[in-house]
Every structure is written in C-alpha cells, then in structure tokens.
C-alpha cells in the first residue's frame, strides 16, 4: 500500500480528540483514516426530509394542491363571494383535512398542541401568511398570524380557524386587523 506523509497543526480540542481516538484505534493514522472515510460516506447519504418536506410529499399524492401567484390570490380573495367561500371551507373542512393529512390520523385523535402545530405547518406551506407562530400562555395558546392579503382575508382565515376549533369543543377568541390575526385558543381541563 502506497502511503503519504502529512504534517499539520490542529487546535487543542481536536488534538485531544485525536489522542482519544488514537488510543481506541491504536494509531493516529487509523483514527484519521477512519474519520476521513466516515466523512466521505456521510456526504453520499441522502439527508432526511424535514417535517414540511414530508408533508409536501403527502400533498403531492393527495393531488389537492393548486399553486396561484400571490398577487392573483389577493385579487381573487378581494373579489370573492366571502359568504360562499367561507361556507365552502367550513362545509368541506379544508383546514381539518390538511391537518389530518399532515398527521395521518383523524383530528379527534390529535391533542390540542398537535392541532395547532398542524395548523402552523399548513399555513407556512401554503404561503398564505407571512408569519405564524404560537406561544403557550398557561391557560391558553396565543396564535399570532401576519399576512399581506387585507382585512377580508384576515376575517376569512379567522372564521375558518375559529370554526375548526369550535367544532372540536375548543373555545377561541380572535382579534382581526388588516394585517394581523391574534387567536386565543383556550385549553380545556
């Protein structure tokens, strides 16, 4: 076997690691060669998908995704029959369906935190909102949503979300403005 000599300097931390693994693998050479092979092997492995990427894959199979440019979507919302659109979302349980698709179980089987997490992931993926986050405030969760689609969209989204929670016996209180939605989701005892 042809060998090559190397000469380098390393930090104190890495020197300690090299000493540790040299003891384990008998020589510094073996420790360094194994580390390099491990780096080479790990660079060939496919990284695991994030939860959002896995959800995108489920959406693709469900064939229920339609992509609309944001400006066009905003114009459609501003000119839509709000009552009809709201009724459609509520009747077809669109938000509930997307959460069930995400967790691969019925909404009744999900706990409150799972429902909120599913809602957050779904709204992030749709790009309907600019930001969405929630915090645990002991007796309730506070969901904070910002967007750039106007008051009509804020009102619709608030109605859809409120209705989903209310249908599952969860009390909510919403405050809606032109670009922000605050939803207090009360925890049940």
Q: What is the CATH number for 133?
A: 3.30.1380
150-156-157 Cα angle (round to 5): 90
**Across residues 41-62, what is the average pLDDT?**
69
User: Counting Cβ atoms within 10 Å, is residue 124 exposed (0-12), middle (13-18) or buried (19+)?
Assistant: middle
Say if residue 96 is in the same domain as residue 144: yes
Query: Cα 136 from chain centroid?
Result: 17
Task: Pick the range with the lowest mean pLDDT from 57-61, 76-80, 141-145, 159-163.
Answer: 57-61
Most confident segment among 39-48, 73-82, 163-172:
163-172
Structure confidence at residue 44 (pLDDT): 67
14 lies in a domain? yes
User: Domain check: are 110 and 17 in the same one?
Assistant: no
Say what the pLDDT of residue 52 is: 72
- 106 and 34 inside one domain: no
Do 128 and 36 share a structural domain? Answer: no
Residues 116 and 25 reside in one and the same domain: no
Residues 69, 37: one domain? no
Average pLDDT of the segment spanning 144-152: 92
**Looking at the structure, do residues 61 and 20 belong to the same domain, yes or no?**
no
**Sheet containing 172-176: order of strands:** 131-136, 140-146, 180-186, 172-176
Task: Give, to the nearest 10 degrees, the angle between helix 94-103 and helix 112-126.
Answer: 100
- pLDDT, average across residues 96-117: 89
Q: Report how many domains make up the chain.
A: 2
d(CA 150, CA 52): 26
Query: Please, what is the average pLDDT of the chain?
Result: 85
pLDDT: which is higher, 109 or 35: 109
**Domain limits at 110?**
49-184
pLDDT score at 42: 66
Question: What separation in angstroms does the CA of 168 have from each of 111, 112, 175?
Answer: 11, 10, 20
Q: Mark whether 178 and 132 lie in a shared domain.
A: yes
For residue 1, being part of any structural domain is answered with no
Judge if 77 and 167 occupy the same domain. Answer: yes
165, pLDDT greater than 90: yes
Same domain membership, residue 170 and residue 117 = yes
In a domain, 2, yes or no: no
pLDDT for 3-46, tens place per residue?
788 888 888 888 888 888 888 888 888 888 888 888 777 666 66
Residue 62 is predicted with a pLDDT of 62
Residue 132 covered by a domain: yes
């Amino acid at each position: 076997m042809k060998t090559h000599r190397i000469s380098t300097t390393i930090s104190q931390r890495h020197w300690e690691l090299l000493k540790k693994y040299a003891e384990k693998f008998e020589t510094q050479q073996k420790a360094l060669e194994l580390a390099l092979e491990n780096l080479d092997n790990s660079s060939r492995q496919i990284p695991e998908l994030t939860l959002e990427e896995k959800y995108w894959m489920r959406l693709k199979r469900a064939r229920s995704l339609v992509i609309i440019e944001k400006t066009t979507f905003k114009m459609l919302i501003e000119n839509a029959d709000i009552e009809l659109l709201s009724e459609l979302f509520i009747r077809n349980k669109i938000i509930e369906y997307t959460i069930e698709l995400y967790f691969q179980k019925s909404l009744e089987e999900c706990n409150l935190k799972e429902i909120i997490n599913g809602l957050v992931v779904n709204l992030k993926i749709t790009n309907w909102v600019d930001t969405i986050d929630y915090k645990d405030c002991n007796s309730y969760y506070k969901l904070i949503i910002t967007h750039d689609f106007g008051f009509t969209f804020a009102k619709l989204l608030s109605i859809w979300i409120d209705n989903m929670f209310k249908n599952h016996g969860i009390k909510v209180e919403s405050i809606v403005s032109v670009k922000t939605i605050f939803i207090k989701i009360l925890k049940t005892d």
